[in-house]
């Protein structure tokens, strides 16, 4: 990446790829950014949770202009291909340039362009004494991807600027003036396992090869959910072949569409051929159903050592029925903007654990909506599905959406600047992903906000990549904007 332009931005991004920074591991990246601000001789602050704020004085002649905040988050989503040996808490990201210098991507893992490019951009502007700008603040938050904890911890009065430029969007040529809110649902099944029938055999059934992706930005692409597909198979195996469920797990992050899932099932010994044939039939079915969307779906089964215990039949059936009816994907599109998702749900993770004499299965969903009442409606649909099945259901991480302001001064100014600089009209949109703007705006009423960025494809998946040409265009746009604020 050393030869890419703008050089300061890409050099900073290269440094970020060398610092392990999955959500939850914030100390090293927070300390790095704090030290970076100090090394520039700038006022640098941090708070108890690890957020970092760096203040840069105005360019000469701009001292009396209202302050501007550049905002992004430090953490990245840790996702890797199943055959990739990688420790996100220790290993640097293996970033490289591909496709005739059109894209930067990573070797078998997420790249961290979400939101490393935004952070690197702010770092470059802080260091460049030739950039014309009003009083400037760079505000870097922690743990955005797992619950926006840094934004929630922001105290009133910490930020001084009046306009916030969020650098955490993923399509160049679009200006985001609103976003969805969200809420997490956790459904917990607790049970005392029962003994496996004597003479039964066991299989590990694995669904893999799905593309996954960002559960906000990519939810409308109709990609396969590994959890939903696996449970379609399990329902058939239980109903017609006397299968019993011993263990099940799938997905790894609340805000990523699950790419893989697997289960341990037991069946009578004489059902061996039936199960293997059923696996082949369902793999063929899934490949056919998702033709043109997915290109590597795989459903496999291998015989394994038989476990001693499994789920009671009633718990197994309730779990399967609940997963079957739990919504996943787009729930409703926006009436006033028909190409924008209004409400969706990601059936994100299924976790299995042993807790003393009990076993536990937890199911996690992330519901998003631009309309608070719709978010609550879908949340209650999910609550009903799992409550009827006997699960304990809890809600957490509820965060507000960012209500659009059609009279936003920064939106109208940046629209005019984009048209002048690039002779094209930017698209004004509401993003279905969650942005920190809604939370920040709640603590700072009246803050004028906009979000924009370069083109980043497939964030939250190992296919993540950032388009090189759009990074330069995004940076030029930001410089032109700062000059006029």
Domain boundary among the residues 382, 399, 416 is at 399
Domain boundary among the residues 399, 428, 448 is at 399
- How far is C-alpha 159 from the chain's CA centre? 26
Q: Among 33, 24, 105, which Cα is nearest to 70's?
A: 33
Known catalytic residue: 144? yes
Number of structural domains the chain divides into:
2
- Domain check: are 269 and 141 in the same one? no
Note down the domain range covering 444: 7-179+402-484
Q: Which of the residues 114, 137, 143, 144 is marked catalytic?
A: 144
- Domain check: are 246 and 125 in the same one? no
| Tally of CB atoms within 10 A around 85 | 7
| Residue at 2 is within a domain | no
- Domain check: are 340 and 383 in the same one? yes
Dihedral pair phi/psi, residue 20, rounded to 5°? -60, 125
- How far is C-alpha 462 from the chain's CA centre? 12
| Residue at 315 is within a domain | yes
- Domain check: are 43 and 81 in the same one? yes
- Domain check: are 253 and 144 in the same one? no
pLDDT in tens, 348-365: 999 999 998 999 999 999
Question: Rounded to whole angstroms, how far apart are CA atoms 162 and 66?
Answer: 6
Give the domain CATH number at 333: 3.30.70.360
- Domain check: are 15 and 153 in the same one? yes
Domain boundary among the residues 357, 374, 399 is at 399
Torsion angle in degrees (nearest 10) through CA of 475, 476, 481, 484: 140
Q: Among 400, 463, 406, which Cα is nearest to 148's?
A: 400
- What pLDDT tens digit does each residue of the chain (485 aa) get? 878 999 999 999 999 999 999 999 999 999 999 999 999 999 999 999 999 999 999 999 999 999 999 999 999 999 998 889 999 999 999 999 997 889 999 999 999 999 999 999 999 999 999 999 999 999 999 999 988 999 999 988 999 999 999 999 999 999 999 999 999 999 999 999 999 999 999 999 999 999 999 999 899 999 999 999 999 999 999 999 999 999 999 998 898 999 999 999 999 999 999 999 999 999 999 999 999 999 999 999 999 999 999 999 999 999 999 999 999 999 999 887 888 899 999 999 999 999 989 999 999 999 999 899 999 999 999 999 999 999 999 999 898 889 888 899 999 999 999 999 999 999 998 889 889 999 999 889 999 999 999 999 999 889 999 999 999 999 999 999 999 99
- Domain check: are 375 and 436 in the same one? no
- Domain check: are 349 and 336 in the same one? yes
- Domain check: are 389 and 406 in the same one? no
pTM: 0.82
- How far is C-alpha 330 from the chain's CA centre? 16
Burial pattern 190-202, b for ≥16 Cβ within 10 A else e, equals ebebeebeeebbb
Q: Which of the residues 75, 145, 168, 249 is marked catalytic?
A: 75
Known catalytic residue: 91? no
């Amino acid at each position: 990446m050393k030869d890419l332009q703008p050089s300061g931005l890409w050099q900073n991004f290269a440094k970020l790829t060398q610092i392990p920074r999955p959500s939850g591991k914030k100390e090293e990246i927070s300390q790095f950014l704090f030290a970076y601000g100090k090394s520039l001789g700038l006022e640098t602050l941090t708070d108890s949770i690890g957020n970092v704020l760096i203040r840069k004085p105005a360019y000469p002649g701009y001292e009396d202009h209202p302050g501007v905040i550049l905002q992004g988050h430090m953490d990245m989503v840790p996702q890797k291909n199943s055959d990739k040996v990688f420790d996100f808490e220790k290993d640097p990201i293996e970033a490289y340039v591909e496709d005739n210098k059109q894209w930067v991507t990573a070797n078998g893992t997420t790249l961290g362009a979400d939101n490393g490019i935004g952070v690197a951009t702010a770092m470059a502007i802080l260091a460049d004494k030739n950039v014309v700008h009003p009083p400037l603040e760079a505000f870097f938050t922690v743990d955005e991807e797992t619950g926006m904890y840094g934004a929630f911890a922001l105290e009133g009065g910490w930020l001084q600027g009046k306009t916030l430029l969020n650098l955490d969007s993923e399509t160049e040529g679009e200006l985001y003036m609103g976003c969805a809110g969200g809420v997490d649902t956790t459904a917990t099944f607790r049970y005392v396992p029962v003994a496996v029938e004597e003479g039964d055999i066991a299989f590990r059934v694995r669904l893999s090869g799905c593309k996954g992706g960002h559960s906000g930005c990519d939810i409308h692409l109709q990609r396969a959910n590994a959890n939903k597909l696996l449970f379609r198979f399990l329902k058939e195996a239980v109903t017609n072949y006397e299968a019993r469920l011993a263990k099940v797990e799938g997905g790894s992050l609340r805000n990523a569409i699950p790419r893989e899932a697997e289960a341990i099932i037991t069946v009578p010994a004489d059902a061996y051929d039936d199960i293997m044939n059923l696996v082949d039939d369902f793999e063929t079915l899934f490949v056919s159903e998702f033709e043109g969307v997915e290109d590597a779906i795989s459903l496999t089964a291998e015989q394994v050592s038989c476990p001693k215990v499994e789920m009671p039949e009633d718990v197994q059936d309730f779990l399967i029925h609940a997963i079957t009816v739990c919504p996943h994907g787009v729930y409703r599109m926006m009436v006033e903007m028909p190409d924008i998702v209004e409400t969706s749900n990601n059936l994100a993770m299924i976790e299995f654990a042993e807790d003393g004499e009990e076993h536990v299965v937890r199911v996690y969903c992330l519901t998003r909506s631009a309309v608070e009442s719709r978010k609550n409606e879908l949340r209650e649909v999910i609550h009903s599905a799992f409550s009827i099945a006997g699960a304990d259901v809890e809600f957490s991480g509820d965060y507000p959406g960012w209500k659009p302001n059609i009279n936003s001064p920064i939106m109208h100014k940046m629209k005019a600047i984009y048209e002048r600089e690039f002779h094209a009209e930017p698209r004004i949109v509401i993003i279905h992903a969650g942005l920190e703007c809604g939370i920040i705006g709640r603590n700072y009423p009246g803050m004028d906000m906009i979000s924009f960025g370069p083109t980043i494809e497939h964030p939250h998946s190992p296919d993540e990549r950032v388009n090189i040409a759009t990074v330069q265009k995004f940076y030029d746009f930001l410089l032109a904007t700062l000059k006029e604020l």
